[in-house]
């Protein structure tokens, strides 16, 4: 009876809320803007648009963009960076050194030699890290971002469940929330791969719920063996279990393309 109540809890309101959120994000059609050095900006635009929706990557003003990638020329255009900052647009700067230009955080700098191609993978990882879950609809439109966005989603949800496992001291109380986070992760991965996050994913979500009960069993078994290591065991199970679910779902959706 308790399991039925847990399944009902995990499949109710939060899932419908996430479905609405994913559908709304998909309708908004977010896009990236590339600025700075014209030749290198066009080079990066073509690379990011490969096999994707060319409308999702533009060169020009950062206003209204989901993110702005600025490739620093010899003379930095502070106006474009200021416009992005004032508009609340996350900005990634590709520069020859590690020093950030005005209005850009040091953590959002991608070092790149002007004489070499723009490091597309490093830029994609920076965009994924900066946008977090907001990168999901962009990954659906731009396959060049998909690997980085999905990897970031898996890692961030795994860390979230590790923290949850370490913070909750009532045995078993964390499992419904952990499983709900895993379901959210799976649905976001499906959306990032351009698949419709509708109730047709029900069979896949049932599998996630089943893995949640499996994690509970593993956690109890480990706590029985190591009763004094409750916090690291719960954190480790939350992290490893969520990562395994995410990586398996990511491979499954990638193979459906």
Distances (CA, A) of 165 to 152, 157, 170, 174, 220: 20, 12, 10, 6, 12
pLDDT at res. 178: 81
pLDDT at res. 7: 45
pLDDT at res. 163: 84
pLDDT at res. 33: 97
Helix 143-167 × helix 120-131 angle, to 10°: 40
- Scan for tokens 């020329």, then name that residue: 73
Q: Residue 75 burial by CB count (10 A; 0-12/13-18/19+): exposed, middle or buried?
A: exposed
pLDDT at res. 42: 94
Residue ranges in the chain whose pLDDT is less than 70: 1-16, 18-19, 22, 24-27, 74, 167-175, 197-233, 257
Domains of the chain: 2-26+150-255 (no CATH), 31-118 (3.40.50)
Query: For residues 110 and 100, is the Cβ–Cβ distance under 8 A?
Result: no
- Sheet architecture: strand order including 91-95: 57-59, 32-36, 67-71, 91-95, 109-111
pLDDT at res. 205: 54
Strand, coil or helix: what is 56?
Answer: helix
């Amino acid at each position: 009876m308790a399991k039925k109540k847990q399944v009902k809890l995990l499949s109710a309101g939060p899932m419908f809320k996430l479905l609405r959120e994913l559908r709304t994000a998909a309708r908004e059609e977010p896009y990236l803007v590339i600025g700075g050095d014209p030749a290198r900006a066009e080079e990066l635009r073509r690379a990011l648009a490969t096999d994707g929706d060319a409308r999702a990557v533009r060169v020009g003003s950062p206003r209204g963009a989901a993110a702005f990638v600025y490739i620093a020329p010899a003379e930095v255009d502070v106006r474009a960076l200021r416009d992005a900052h004032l508009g609340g647009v996350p900005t990634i700067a590709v520069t020859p050194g590690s020093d950030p230009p005005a209005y850009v955080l040091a953590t959002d700098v991608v070092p790149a030699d002007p004489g070499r191609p723009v490091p597309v993978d490093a830029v994609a990882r920076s965009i994924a890290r900066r946008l977090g879950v907001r990168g999901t609809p962009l990954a659906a439109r731009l396959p060049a971002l998909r690997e980085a966005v999905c990897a970031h989603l898996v890692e961030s949800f795994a860390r979230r469940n590790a923290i949850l496992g370490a913070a909750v001291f009532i045995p078993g109380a964390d499992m419904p929330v952990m499983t709900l986070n895993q379901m959210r992760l799976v649905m976001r991965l499906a959306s990032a791969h351009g698949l419709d996050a509708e109730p047709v994913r029900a069979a896949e979500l049932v599998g996630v719920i089943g893995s949640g009960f499996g994690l509970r069993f593993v956690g109890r078994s480990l706590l029985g063996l190591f009763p004094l290591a409750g916090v690291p065991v719960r954190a480790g199970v939350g992290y490893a279990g969520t990562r395994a679910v995410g990586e398996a779902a990511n491979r499954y959706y990638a193979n459906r393309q």
